[in-house]
Amino acid sequence: MDMEVEASSLSNTTTHSITSFKRFGIKNSIQTNFGDDYVFQIDSSPENSTLAVSLSTNAIKFYSAVTGQYIGECKGHSAPINQISFSCPSSPHVLQSCSSDGTLRAWDTRTFNQVSSLIAGSHQEVFSFSFGGSSNNLLAAGCKSEVLIWDWRNGKQVACLEESHMDDVTQVHFSPGHRNKLISASVDGLMCTFDTEGNINDDDHLESVMNVGTSIGKIGFCGEMNDKIWCLTHIETLSIWDWKDSRNEVNFQDARTLASDSWTLGHVDYFVDCHYSGADDRLWVIGGTNAGSLGYFPVDHKGIGSPEAVLEGGHVGIVRTVLPMSCLNGGRATNQSIFGWTGGEDGRLCCWLSDESTEVNRSWISNALVMKSPKTTKKNRHHPY
């Protein structure tokens, strides 16, 4: 159950880079009592001591990031949870979640109680959210063909952007370097840029539209000034855009083929996510196989290279989420030996640890191979057609 990094790709990297470690492995195992649950997403508290895990049972469970010990859980959503994040500006102890039940909820992770709730609408679904605004007072949510915006301090809805998209808004992100700029992405294949200053509306605040041409699954920022966007689609294509100029810089229609041809672990069946390291301005696309292997494939304007890291042996099914330690707090981890965590449809939550660590027993994995019941609820994935 090792993760290997090719020695030839370790030059000119920083201590916080993904390629800092030569070898990673799973050294111990515990029972994480997921039963038939799928793991949808993992997020870590700001101090990296607690893991929040959203599951297919519409619950959020919490574990110690060091030992894997179960801490508690939050229940309240009545439909699949589409995103969780410790990004709430009000408190580092608050976890925010959104769901297809049409709500955004905030949870106090010390008491596991719900502390607030926003309702997008009785027939709405909330697929994504982001905190931002010039005063960091806005909460934007991607819903069914709409972007809703609240002032999270008083719970008042301040905008409904309903004319820019024609289908589900799968992603919303405020720009890290320009907090008043909001980027949305949709199943309709469009990415839109909004200025959120003043009285926000479609007519006056829609600044640009980028046409990807197919249903968009995930986007994220990259580039030294966060002036680029990487974009993964539901048909597994990858593109990079300059969002300020609304310009497509590179488009890999055959991204899976390029990744598959660069390793020996079989065909890359899907992409989980992308990871950008600001420390050395590098981007990786994380590809996986249906058997549970993962690879970190470097991406630049010339193409998709051979994997610089491979995680093999931890999962036996599709991996839904990857949380690299280097993406937390600028890579300043409390335990530098931990590479990160992964979770997936096999009901496993895996922690990957450097072989260079002297505390190898602090890495863990759920040890149950789960047989899925036909009644197990899976979160619906968007389909472009």
Q: What are phi and psi of 332, to 5 degrees?
A: -85, 85
Q: Which of 274, 291, 324 is the last residue of a domain?
A: 274
Strand partners, 185: 171, 191
Domain count of the chain?
2
pLDDT digits (tens, 9 = 90+) for 77-98: 999 999 999 998 878 899 999 9
Neighbours of 188 (CB within 10 A): 21
Is residue 204 within a helix (H) or strand (E), and if so which, with residue range? helix 202-205
With a cut of 50, say whether residue 280 has pLDDT above it. yes
Neighbours of 358 (CB within 10 A): 7
- How would you classify residue 303: left for phi > 0, otherwise alpha for psi between -120 and 50, otherwise beta? left
Same domain, 105 and 58: yes
With a cut of 70, say whether residue 295 has pLDDT above it. yes
User: Residue 4 falls within a domain, yes or no?
Assistant: no
**Residues 213-227, mean pLDDT to the nearest whole number:** 96
Q: Which of 213, 244, 274 is the last residue of a domain?
A: 274
Q: Are 172 and 126 in contact (CB under 8 A)?
A: no
Overall residue count recorded for the chain in this entry: 385
User: For every residue of 109-149, which 3-state class applies, written as one string?
Assistant: CCCCEEEEEEECCCCCCCCEEEEECCCCCEEEEECCCCEEE
Strand boundaries in 253-380, DSSP class E: 270-277, 282-288, 294-300, 303-304, 309-311, 319-324, 338-344, 349-354
Share of the chain above pLDDT 90, in %: 64
Q: Count CA atoms within 13 Å of residue 282 on its CB side.
A: 21
Beta pairing, strands 338-344 & 50-55 = unpaired
With a cut of 50, say whether residue 372 has pLDDT above it. no
User: Residue 359 falls within a domain, yes or no?
Assistant: yes
Q: How confident is the model at residue 15 (pLDDT cuts 50, 70, 90)?
A: very low
Same domain, 30 and 80: no
User: What is the distance between the alpha carbons of residues 311 and 286, in angstroms, rounded to a whole number?
Assistant: 10
Share of the chain above pLDDT 70, in %: 79
Same domain, 183 and 48: yes
Residue position matching structure tokens 């697929």: 127
Amino acid at 378: K
User: Residue 376 falls within a domain, yes or no?
Assistant: no
Task: Name the nearest CA neighbour of 320 among 359, 357, 297, 288.
Answer: 288
CATH number at residue 146: 2.130.10.10
Least confident of 50-54, 55-59, 371-375: 371-375
The DSSP call for residue 347 is S
Neighbours of 177 (CB within 10 A): 12
Same domain, 266 and 350: no
Same domain, 291 and 154: no
**Residues 37-61, mean pLDDT to the nearest whole number:** 92
Same domain, 262 and 281: no
What's CA 277's distance to the chain center, in Å? 15
Query: pTM to 2 decimals?
Result: 0.85
Same domain, 68 and 138: yes
Task: Name the nearest CA neighbour of 43 among 349, 355, 356, 346.
Answer: 349
Which are the contacts of 244, defined by CB distance < 8 A and separation ≥ 6?
Answer: 227
User: Residue 172 falls within a domain, yes or no?
Assistant: yes
Q: What is the pLDDT of residue 258?
A: 96
Same domain, 300 and 156: no
Q: What is the pLDDT of residue 356?
A: 55
With a cut of 70, say whether residue 336 has pLDDT above it. no
Q: How confident is the model at residue 177 (pLDDT cuts 50, 70, 90)?
A: confident
Same domain, 294 and 262: no
Same domain, 56 and 118: yes
User: What is the distance between the alpha carbons of residues 347 and 357, in angstroms, rounded to a whole number?
Assistant: 27
User: What is the distance between the alpha carbons of residues 362 and 142, in angstroms, rounded to a whole number?
Assistant: 38
User: What is the distance between the alpha carbons of residues 324 and 284, in angstroms, rounded to a whole number?
Assistant: 12
With a cut of 60, say whether residue 355 has pLDDT above it. no
Q: How confident is the model at residue 331 (pLDDT cuts 50, 70, 90)?
A: very low
With a cut of 50, say whether residue 21 has pLDDT above it. no
Q: Which of 239, 274, 309 is the last residue of a domain?
A: 274
User: Residue 2 falls within a domain, yes or no?
Assistant: no
Same domain, 232 and 290: no
**Residues 243-265, mean pLDDT to the nearest whole number:** 95
**Residues 271-299, mean pLDDT to the nearest whole number:** 94
With a cut of 50, say whether residue 16 has pLDDT above it. no
With a cut of 50, say whether residue 334 has pLDDT above it. no
User: Residue 8 falls within a domain, yes or no?
Assistant: no
Q: How confident is the model at residue 34 (pLDDT cuts 50, 70, 90)?
A: low
**Residues 281-304, mean pLDDT to the nearest whole number:** 94
User: Residue 3 falls within a domain, yes or no?
Assistant: no
With a cut of 80, say whether residue 149 has pLDDT above it. yes
Q: What is the pLDDT of residue 67?
A: 77
User: Residue 384 falls within a domain, yes or no?
Assistant: no
Same domain, 160 and 221: yes
Q: What is the pLDDT of residue 13?
A: 34
Residue 204 lies in domain: 39-274
pLDDT digits (tens, 9 = 90+) for 101-148: 999 999 999 999 999 999 998 899 999 999 999 899 999 999 999 999
